[in-house]
Structure 1
Amino acid sequence: MAKHAQLLEGPIGPALARLAVPMGLGIVFIIAVDLADTYYVSMLGTAELAAMSFTFPVVSLVFSVVMGVSIGATSALARVIGAGDEQAIRRLATHAIMLAVLIVLLISGLGLATQDAVFTLLGAKPELLPLLRAYMTIWFLGAVFLVVPMMGMAAIRATGDTRTPMFIMMAAAVANLVLDPIFIFGLGPVPALGLRGAAIATLLARSITLLLALRVLRREDLLDLHWPSRAELRRSWWSILSVGLPAAITNVLTPVATAALTWLIARHGTEAVAAYGVGSRVEGLLLIAPMALGAALTPFIGQNWGAHHEDRVARGIVLARNFAVAWGAGAWIVLALGGNHLADVFTDDPRVAELVHTYLWIVPLSYGASGLVSVASAAFNAVDKAVRSTALSALRTLVLAIPLATLGSTLLGLPGVFIGIAGATVLSAGLAYLWMRGLTRPVSRGGQVHLEGASPAVDVALQALVRGVSDLADVDVHPTRQRALGFFVGQRELGHVHHRGQLDMAFPPEVRDQLVREGKVDHHRIVHDSCWVTHRLEEEADVPEAIWLLHLAHALLRLAREPGPAERELEGLQPSDALRQSIARARARWLAAA
């Protein structure tokens, strides 16, 4: 097992809780910093507060894109960690940081060149442009302190460590809270810099996250300092962006839909917009838990998917789904009973309070469905099916929410808008549930050996292979979810045979490379940068070597637990001298890591 793979064994519920709680606290720290920034800037005056408000859409857009790409990095890295290839882990983590630097150059260059035009398009008056330039020029020049730490913390989360990123974000939040008043209002030798001071304080606080993230990456041996080839970068960046780009689009769709819904609600008056704003903020707080759980699923599912622990993937998704639905139901009960009192906390306008209560009666009915969609999106991102996540988001926001809210507005007024929003979430959750069935279907333990869709020749070879490993008493043979038959020792998979006649197996990189050189296996046809390899099993003549390979995988798995019997098993396989040496190198690496 790779030293970074922390999520492949043990109880699933506690593992998800250990991942989710720090993520939830990290979200709270981010919200606290945003609120503090807004509070201090509001003390400067209306113009400065208006300028800060105009920066929100631009900053949110950049944040959404970077967050999406960092989700791709977490997903890709978690799968490689699960597969157990330490070299590929370091390579991919380093290439993710290099991708972050490229993103910084694009964001900074584009932002500095277009900021006046963008803010004018957003409706900023000419007198606000100098304030906006003062803030955003510093922000764009300091984008490296936002983007690179986010990518670094994504790599750390992929290992299953979410506490360290939480502490890094906490340090940044505390620094921001301390530095904001110093640079905005001045203190001692530091002059009062106003809105520009807020940007400088944020930049300095973010620089702390950069230094801490790089230090942790170095400490955890997640950096590979050799200069990569273009082919290596291309493979790594594609594995990140194949999830990251759809995830970024998914993130961007939500504020777009929110803007459209705000415009629709504004037709019902200022009180309606105020009520929607209050309801949305309450919703944001109540959905932190399912959001954090969804984020926790990405490293958990990614590692177990990469290790082909599909049973753990299924149980993890079911647990998360059930929690999200239960949390949503509980939140609705609390809001239904206490909505009046909560509305009074945010406003003393009776009409606004009435509309807030209406919102908190209707929309929270869909919170369980919203949690289910979050779980589904995280699961699809983790298994490299991010296009489904984007499709779910587009369906929920553009295809359903806006048309249904418009129809509801016409028929029922403002309550109809809220019903349309909730209905869109419930309908998209139904599709998410159907799409997830393939990931949550229980793995059979019935000892079947027939493989659906296999040709007669592959079927005969498969029967012979199963008989050939029958002497390994601790090996369990059962179907997996992908029309494949797996060979397991407990929860650990030795390999699996696809219906087309490929035996896929995972070996330490030293052993993998030697087996490839000896012509016993080929690099995996899809997952190039991992420990997985392929042996053809198309006819009975391919069976003896397949049996030998499964025995080799079995012996290597036993080396750490039962070195004596494992060494005798290896001797019986009569490996070549070069293969013996590669096994010795792998074993030395395991001992050093331990």
Structure 2
Amino acid sequence: MNRPRSETSSSEDSGPPRFVVGSTMRHVLVMTGTGAAGLIAIFIVDLVSLLYISWLKDPSLTAGVGIATVVMFLTISINVGLMIPIGALVSRALGARDRQRARELATSGSVLMVVVSSLVSLMLLPFLPPLLTLLGATGQTHQVAKEFLWISLPTNGVMALGMGLSTVLRAAGDARRSMYATLSIAIVTVALDPVLIFGLGLKANGAAITIGIARFVYVYVAYLYLIRHHSLLARPSVQGVMRDARPFFAIAIPAILTNIAAPASNAFFTSIMARFGDEAIAASAIIDRVTPVAFGGLFALAGAIGPVMGQNWGARNFERVRQTLRDSLLFMVVYVLVVWLALYLLRAPLTLAFNAPPLTTDIVQFFCQISGFIWFFIGLVFVANASFNNLGFPLLSTFFNWGRATLGMIPFAYVGAEMAGPKGALLGIGAGSVAFGIGAAITSFWTVRRLERQATVPL
């Protein structure tokens, strides 16, 4: 609903949009740092939740939650695809100093995001048994995963709304409050997980219940920040939502197709690991939790540069768009090298903390040794895709993501598994990402040059 803007909001609106002035590297670092703090906090909580479950010393519980996470990754990836047009459209409108249009787009985008994400979750529920079987779940592992998802999936629409509102905050340049909203998930989970998992004896289901409660808190915090400090939400109307659906889905559909490539490839990798038993599935689950914690800065970077690029595109300052891309790639290289070293040094304590059995330990420690090689080229794709999505070339993002997830993943991982087991599958992922990472980075600079020649800003 419309509310008077606070004094904070008035002072923020009086000058030029935040990202069209000042150091682009500083904007990248601040937006990425605040975004990473919130994201990594959530990922750490997910890691800790799996750690708690591993302390129950039942591999079927760890494997069941790991397979359930693969399905949840699909829904969250769709949410991220729906989130991208909100950030792109709102930041462009703010860059063009059309605040009323930005408010309308933020409102319509949030409504559309909730509707689509809720429908996706409801459609998945009846197909969970065959889907989990396809992923390699059997017996107790299958039952644990199914119960976990029946509890957590119905609140996916709530999570989508929180992500949408948080994206509007970031599009307005308010990375700090967006971070606080995201951190609320971590705070709730840290407080409730031990109580529900151990105190009430709910085990994996306790972690799933905590997820739902934390999502409602996330929405509440993000909504309060948005209406009190930015007044970037209006009362939704059917006419407004229908009017904005076309530009929204013009970006959202390619973005969703792009994002579901990751869970599709992840599902394929999990099915490969399932061939080697529950210990290998448990290793995959641990890797899936460790990876976003370790490389959360790259996830945050991909979301951080969108508003910076969008506002400068709206202001038709293409040299700053290009410099933002350069700064992002430099940050990515340094970040991957630092994280790679940390994982290599901590590989033994990490597996000890999870009470990992021998095969699980062997796979996880091997991943820590080669993680930098894998994620350097995936990071190139991340940065390039963020550029494509926010500069009006979402189909290129779809091409590179699906190309890496299919041609760059399936044959390499399959052959690697046949030749060297789970370790060979991990090596295959890295080898298949090389060409797509380099190609995506080169193409991202070409898109900026093309926009500069066209010099148009369609809203």
- Whether the TM-score (by the shorter chain) exceeds 0.5 is yes
In the TM superposition, what whole-angstrom CA distance separates every residue of 1:219-260 from its partner, at most 9, and x where no partner exists?
Answer: 21111216241xx43442232222222222232222322333
| Match 1:227 to one of 220, 234, 237 | 237
Q: Is the 8 A contact 1:80 1:88 kept in 2?
A: yes
Does 1:80 pair with 2:100? Answer: no
Q: Which structure ranks higher in relative contact order (CA pairs < 8 Å, sequence separation ≥ 6)?
A: 2
| Match 1:482 to one of 439, 443, 452 | 452
CA deviation after TM superposition for structure 1 residue 138, in Å: 4.4
Q: Is the 8 A contact 2:90 2:103 kept in 1?
A: no
Q: Is the 8 A contact 2:95 2:313 kept in 1?
A: yes
Q: Which residue of 1 aligns with 2:188?
A: 175
- How far, CA to CA, are the matches of 1:287 and 1:276 in structure 2? 16
Q: Is the 8 A contact 1:2 1:84 kept in 2?
A: no
The share of aligned pairs that are identical, in percent, is: 27
Q: Which residue of 1 aligns with 2:171?
A: 158
Q: Which residue of 1 aligns with 2:318?
A: 310
Residue aligned with 2:21, SS: coil
Identify if the C-alpha distance between structure 1 residues 116 and 262 changes in structure 2 by more than 3 Å, giving closer, same or farther.
Answer: closer
Q: Is the 8 A contact 1:329 1:367 kept in 2?
A: no
Q: Is the 8 A contact 2:193 2:206 kept in 1?
A: yes
* Deviates most, 45-54 or 67-76: 45-54
Q: Is the 8 A contact 2:62 2:282 kept in 1?
A: no
Alignment of 1:161-310 (within 5 A): 161-183=174-196, 197-219=206-228, 220-225=230-235, 227-229=237-239, 232-264=240-272, 282-310=290-318
| Residue type of the alignment partner of 2:33 | V
In the TM superposition, what whole-angstrom CA distance separates every residue of 1:349-374 from its partner, at most 9, and x where no partner exists?
Answer: 77766665554444523433222221
| Residue type of the alignment partner of 1:217 | L
Does 1:110 pair with 2:120? Answer: no
Q: Is the 8 A contact 2:43 2:293 kept in 1?
A: no
- How far, CA to CA, are the matches of 1:353 and 1:139 in structure 2? 29
| Residue type of the alignment partner of 2:112 | L
Structure number with higher helix proportion: 2
Identify if the C-alpha distance between structure 1 residues 140 and 202 changes in structure 2 by more than 3 Å, giving closer, same or farther.
Answer: same
* Deviates most, 41-50 or 161-170: 41-50
- How far, CA to CA, are the matches of 2:265 and 2:275 in structure 1? 16
In the TM superposition, what whole-angstrom CA distance separates every residue of 1:483-536 from its partner, at most 9, and x where no partner exists?
Answer: 35xxxxxxxxxxx6xxxxxxx7xxxxxxxxxxxxxxxxxxxxx83x5xxxxxxx
In the TM superposition, what whole-angstrom CA distance separates every residue of 1:398-437 from its partner, at most 9, and x where no partner exists?
Answer: 1122223344456677665444322222211221122123
CA deviation after TM superposition for structure 1 residue 34, in Å: 1.8
* Deviates most, 96-105 or 20-29: 96-105
- How far, CA to CA, are the matches of 1:110 and 1:340 in structure 2? 39
- How far, CA to CA, are the matches of 2:140 and 2:45 in structure 1? 27
Q: Which residue of 2 aligns with 1:15?
A: 27
Alignment of 1:411-422 (within 5 A): 417-422=425-430
Q: Which residue of 2 aligns with 1:30?
A: 42
Aligned length: 444
Q: Which residue of 2 aligns with 1:460?
A: none
Identify if the C-alpha distance between structure 1 residues 52 and 301 changes in structure 2 by more than 3 Å, giving closer, same or farther.
Answer: same
Identify if the C-alpha distance between structure 1 residues 105 and 483 changes in structure 2 by more than 3 Å, giving closer, same or farther.
Answer: closer
Does 1:434 pair with 2:446? Answer: no
CA deviation after TM superposition for structure 1 residue 13, in Å: 1.2
Does 1:91 pair with 2:104? Answer: yes
* Deviates most, 66-75 or 88-97: 66-75
* Deviates most, 359-368 or 173-182: 359-368
Q: Is the 8 A contact 2:66 2:284 kept in 1?
A: no
| Residue type of the alignment partner of 1:38 | L
- How far, CA to CA, are the matches of 2:348 and 2:17 in structure 1? 47
- How far, CA to CA, are the matches of 2:152 and 2:26 in structure 1? 39
Q: Is the 8 A contact 1:372 1:432 kept in 2?
A: yes
Q: TM-score, normalization: structure 1?
A: 0.65
Q: Which runs of 5+ in 1 are unaligned?
A: 442-479, 485-495, 497-503, 505-525, 530-594
Q: Is the 8 A contact 2:43 2:292 kept in 1?
A: no
Q: Is the 8 A contact 1:317 1:440 kept in 2?
A: no
Identify if the C-alpha distance between structure 1 residues 412 and 296 changes in structure 2 by more than 3 Å, giving closer, same or farther.
Answer: same
Q: Which residue of 2 aligns with 1:69?
A: 82
Does 1:6 pair with 2:18? Answer: yes
The two structures, once aligned, show a CA RMSD in angstroms of 3.7
Identify if the C-alpha distance between structure 1 residues 411 and 320 changes in structure 2 by more than 3 Å, giving closer, same or farther.
Answer: same
Identify if the C-alpha distance between structure 1 residues 431 and 119 changes in structure 2 by more than 3 Å, giving closer, same or farther.
Answer: closer
CA deviation after TM superposition for structure 1 residue 182, in Å: 4.0
Q: Is the 8 A contact 1:293 1:320 kept in 2?
A: yes
Q: Is the 8 A contact 2:351 2:365 kept in 1?
A: no
Highest CA radius of gyration, 1 or 2? 1
CA deviation after TM superposition for structure 1 residue 306, in Å: 1.7
- How far, CA to CA, are the matches of 1:260 and 1:23 in structure 2? 29
Identify if the C-alpha distance between structure 1 residues 49 and 258 changes in structure 2 by more than 3 Å, giving closer, same or farther.
Answer: closer
CA deviation after TM superposition for structure 1 residue 183, in Å: 4.6
Residue aligned with 1:222, SS: coil
CA deviation after TM superposition for structure 1 residue 384, in Å: 2.0
Identify if the C-alpha distance between structure 1 residues 266 and 248 changes in structure 2 by more than 3 Å, giving closer, same or farther.
Answer: same
- How far, CA to CA, are the matches of 2:367 and 2:306 in structure 1? 31
Q: Is the 8 A contact 1:75 1:240 kept in 2?
A: no
* Deviates most, 409-418 or 197-206: 409-418
| Residue type of the alignment partner of 1:317 | L
Q: Is the 8 A contact 1:327 1:368 kept in 2?
A: no
Residue aligned with 2:382, SS: helix
* Deviates most, 271-280 or 97-106: 271-280
Identify if the C-alpha distance between structure 1 residues 168 and 236 changes in structure 2 by more than 3 Å, giving closer, same or farther.
Answer: same
Q: TM-score, normalization: structure 2?
A: 0.82
- How far, CA to CA, are the matches of 1:131 and 1:159 in structure 2? 41
CA deviation after TM superposition for structure 1 residue 333, in Å: 5.4
Identify if the C-alpha distance between structure 1 residues 266 and 181 changes in structure 2 by more than 3 Å, giving closer, same or farther.
Answer: closer
- How far, CA to CA, are the matches of 2:285 and 2:140 in structure 1? 27
Q: Is the 8 A contact 1:325 1:368 kept in 2?
A: yes
CA deviation after TM superposition for structure 1 residue 97, in Å: 1.8
Identify if the C-alpha distance between structure 1 residues 176 and 481 changes in structure 2 by more than 3 Å, giving closer, same or farther.
Answer: closer
